[in-house]
Amino acid sequence: MESQSAAIQARELTKRFGEFTAVDRVTFEVRRGELFGLLGPNGAGKTTLSRMLTTLLVPDAGAASVAGFDVARDPARVREAIGVIPQALTSDLDLTGWENVDIYGGFYNLGRRARRERAQHLLRMVGLTERANDLVQTYSGGMRRRLEIARGLIHSPEVLFLDEPTIGLDPQSRRAVWELLEQLRRDTGLTISLTTHYMDEAETLCDRIAIVDGGKIIAIGTPAELKAKVKGSDRIELEVAGDAEKIAAMLRGQPGVLDVTRDPDGPIVVSADDGAHVMPRIIAEIENSGASVSSIKLERLSLEDVFIRFTGRRLRDEPARKGGFFSSSFGMPMPPGR
Amino acid sequence: MRKTWSIMRRDLLKIGRNPLTIFTSVLLPIIYLLIFGNSFQGVLKHLPVVIVSQDNGPFAIRVMEQMQALAAGPRVITITYNSDADTALRDVRNGVYKAALIIPPDFSHDIAEGRIGELGLFTDNVDAISAATLTGLFSQATASIRAGYVTAREPKLDQIVIRPSNLFTTVDYDRSLIPGVIVMALFMGSLTSGVFNWVMDRFMGITECYLVTPPSRWNLAAGVLGSSVLVTSVASVIVLAAGLLMTGGTITGGAPAAAMLVGVIVLGATGILAMTFVILARADNPRVVGASAGFLNVILFFPSGAIYPVESFPTWLRTFAHYNPETHAVSALKSILFKGANFAAVSHDLAFLAVFTAAMLVLASMTVKRTL
């Protein structure tokens, strides 16, 4: 499975916090140029996994490499090769947009001219040229997020990690971020690892998705592949003029039909893997039996349905986090974004 | 009533679950009381005085006995004897002693001959409180000698006088506060531009962004410390200039002294900044830094000798003051600013600050982690 062209490789990657195993022997691979999604409920271990890959946390077991460099043995090289956009808005409020990007260029030893040219290009790309010299404290949340994406790209990284990049943003800003990421993938071939719990975001943007729950990857594939993994991924709902019970019984034996249910006085619901092909056949069968179809509707399983099928409906309780002496003792709130 | 009780109950539950809040609200006032009370106690004690007696006559012995009584009874002074007046005066200039009492060779003879017996008192008037106290105390002591010796046979004892001399240019009270104000600027600057920003960045998640970029922990520590030391030092130099301007003072010693002052300010800023990092850099919330600022300021500033002489503190507070970087910063600044002291004269304070700063920098760098 491992290949030289992989941008990210993880093998049996594990992270424990005391008795709690946040990431449990996770193995996966992200190809170069791929936009890969880590999808999971709160507390699933997505952020911990991402933090190990970005050298913020040291794995307890297993191994991982990013851009060809081992995250535990060669973290400095990994840091040179990655850009990271964390969940919290972290652009410096007391600096201008330009200064935020320019200072990060210095972290990567970029010369003044290279920083200027790159910052101009990136700020133009994220649509902030006009506001580049304004203090970030005057920016909206969406503008800050776009600025942070520009900041994360200042050194032309090989892999960009984004952790919940659209959380808290209005629909317009979310769309703007999506377009930006699609543009990056299209124009630069950048490898992107996107952590999210927004199904539409994952479905719209990601080439492949790993569903993470309980610290493990429980499913991985393209959105279509994930849907195909769920039996009866298509739902055909029909109302008939005739004996509905009899028709339902007749449909149960039809090829491609996985299940037929009907609530009293409700429509007939047919579950199938390939609804588009099954639907004409069952219409023909009903009409051949002398009845007729008064309405019919094909619903494809959404990624959210797939997600719920894989992860269940149980609400997640995150493990209790021990506060530091200075925070818990003084009754002060814990910092955000943890 | 139920609504009010609900709010009370909520607050009581919250307070009860953070017992350290209650503990600190009891402990801090007690510590303040101890520090304040002992920093500003009414009577000065243990002021170091060197006595040079060049006279072995009976009246010189009587003066010495009177001084010993002061040292043994109210313990206002501690006495060291020296036979060399030049050495004694140099030590006063260098801050080893608060005053030198010199009993001249003809002191007893002059009195016996009916002339005025003069005692020389050379005070370190940069510490105006100690100098005034010692001058008054020694005048009273000689008065008691007169009272004790007024007999029909010795009618001239009322001719003993103290001739006080200030070793330095007179420093008025406002000017005498300048070193203390500078040290307070060093502390406040270190806290606000250094560790507060650091903890705030951590709280906001900004530090996390730095940690995924190439700079090493040394780059991070040096960058944060460097900017804060620069800001704090510039602010302190401005405070120094403003202080001199407002009090009409100048820097005794000219350009070399000014350079040394800047050196002490930079060294003090670095040491105090590194110390605040050691104490507070791991705090999760910037409010902790704010809450700690007042406490640290009290326990460091008041025992520093900026206002009251360190020698008069009780032993435990004197010991604390001895290891307090602000004490040495104040001492060095006073010596350079008011006494025109050269490098050798302040080398003890500078050596302490250098060692302290080095130790704190090592410890502070250990507080910077490269991972979460």
Average pLDDT over residues B154-168: 71
pLDDT given for residue B95 in this prediction:
86
Q: Which residue of A has its CA nearest to B280?
A: A326
Class assignment of domain B47-166?
Answer: alpha beta
Alpha helix locations (H) across chain A? 46-53, 75-81, 97-107, 112-125, 141-152, 171-188, 199-205, 223-228, 244-251, 275-288, 303-311, 325-328
Average pLDDT over residues A225-240: 86
β-bridge mates for residue A66, sequence order: A8, A69
pLDDT of residue A175 exceeding 80, the answer is yes
Which among B204, B277, B287, B292 is the top mutation candidate for probing chain A, defined by the most A β-carbons within 10 Å of its own β-carbon? B204
Q: How far apart are CA B191 and CA B232, in angstroms?
A: 9
Q: Are residues A55 and A186 in the same domain?
A: yes
pLDDT given for residue B157 in this prediction:
52
Number of domains forming the structure of chain A: 2
Q: Are residues A127 and A215 in the same domain?
A: yes
Q: Do A330 and B202 touch (CB under 8 A)?
A: no
pLDDT of residue A332 exceeding 80, the answer is no
Instruction: Tell me the DSSP string of B273-323.
Output: HHHHHHHHTT-SSHHHHHHHHHHHHHHHHGGGTSSS-GGGS-HHHHHHHHT
Q: What is the CATH number of the domain that holds A278?
A: 3.30.70.100
pLDDT of residue A330 exceeding 70, the answer is no
More confident of the two residues A103 and B32: A103
**Residue spans per domain, chain B:** 47-166, 173-367
Give tens-digit pLDDT for B74-104: 788 999 999 899 999 999 988 899 999 999 9
Residue A307: inside a domain: no
Instruction: Tell me the DSSP string of A256-289.
Output: TEEEEEE-TTS-EEEEES-HHHHHHHHHHHHHHT
Q: Within a 10 A sphere around the Cβ of A195, how many other Cβ atoms?
A: 25
pLDDT given for residue A42 in this prediction:
85
pLDDT given for residue A273 in this prediction:
83
- pLDDT category at A98 given cuts 50, 70, 90 is very high
Residue A115: inside a domain: yes
Query: What DSSP designation does A331 have?
Result: T
State in Å, rounded, how far the first CA of chain A is from the last one: 32
Give tens-digit pLDDT for A261-309: 888 888 999 988 888 889 999 999 999 888 899 999 998 888 888 888 8
Helix (H, G, I), strand (E, B) or coil at B139: helix
| Residue found under tokens 């219409």 | A283
pLDDT of residue A319 exceeding 70, the answer is no
pLDDT of residue B151 exceeding 60, the answer is no
Which among A326, A328, A329, A334 is the top mutation candidate for probing chain B, defined by the most B β-carbons within 10 Å of its own β-carbon? A326
Residue A317: inside a domain: no
Residue A88: inside a domain: yes
> Does the ipTM surpass 0.95?
no
pLDDT given for residue B43 in this prediction:
73
User: Final residue of a domain: which of A212, A227, A242?
Assistant: A227
Cβ contact A66:A8 at 8 Å:
yes
pLDDT given for residue A320 in this prediction:
58
User: How many CA atoms are closer than 13 Å to the CA of A138, on its beta-carbon side?
Assistant: 10
Helix (H, G, I), strand (E, B) or coil at A290: coil
Average pLDDT over residues B191-213: 89
pLDDT given for residue A185 in this prediction:
87
Residue A320: inside a domain: no
Helix axes B254-280, B325-339, angle to 10 degrees: 170
Pick from B327, B192, B178, B184: which is nearest to B261 by CA? B178
Q: Do A326 and B202 touch (CB under 8 A)?
A: no
pLDDT of residue A333 exceeding 60, the answer is no
- pLDDT category at B143 given cuts 50, 70, 90 is confident
- CB contacts of A60 in chain B (<8 Å) are none
Q: Do A330 and B209 touch (CB under 8 A)?
A: no
Q: Are residues A218 and A79 in the same domain?
A: yes
pLDDT of residue A230 exceeding 70, the answer is yes
Cα dist from A15 to A59, A66, A82, A184, A195, whole Å: 5, 17, 21, 31, 17
CA-based torsion, B219, B222, B228, B230: positive or negative: negative
Least CB–CB distance from B205: residue in A75, A326, A336: A336
Q: How far apart are CA B227 and CA B210, in angstroms?
A: 16
Q: Do β-strands A268-272 and A234-241 pair in parallel, antiparallel, or remain unpaired?
A: antiparallel
Q: Are residues A249 and A129 in the same domain?
A: no
Instruction: Give the angle subtended at the CA of A254 by the CAs of A248 and A259, to the nearest 5°.
Output: 60
Q: Do A56 and B209 touch (CB under 8 A)?
A: no
pLDDT of residue B284 exceeding 60, the answer is yes
Pick from A164, A154, A69: which is nearest to A117 by CA? A154
Q: How many A×B Cβ pairs under 8 Å?
A: 92
Q: Do B372 and A57 touch (CB under 8 A)?
A: yes
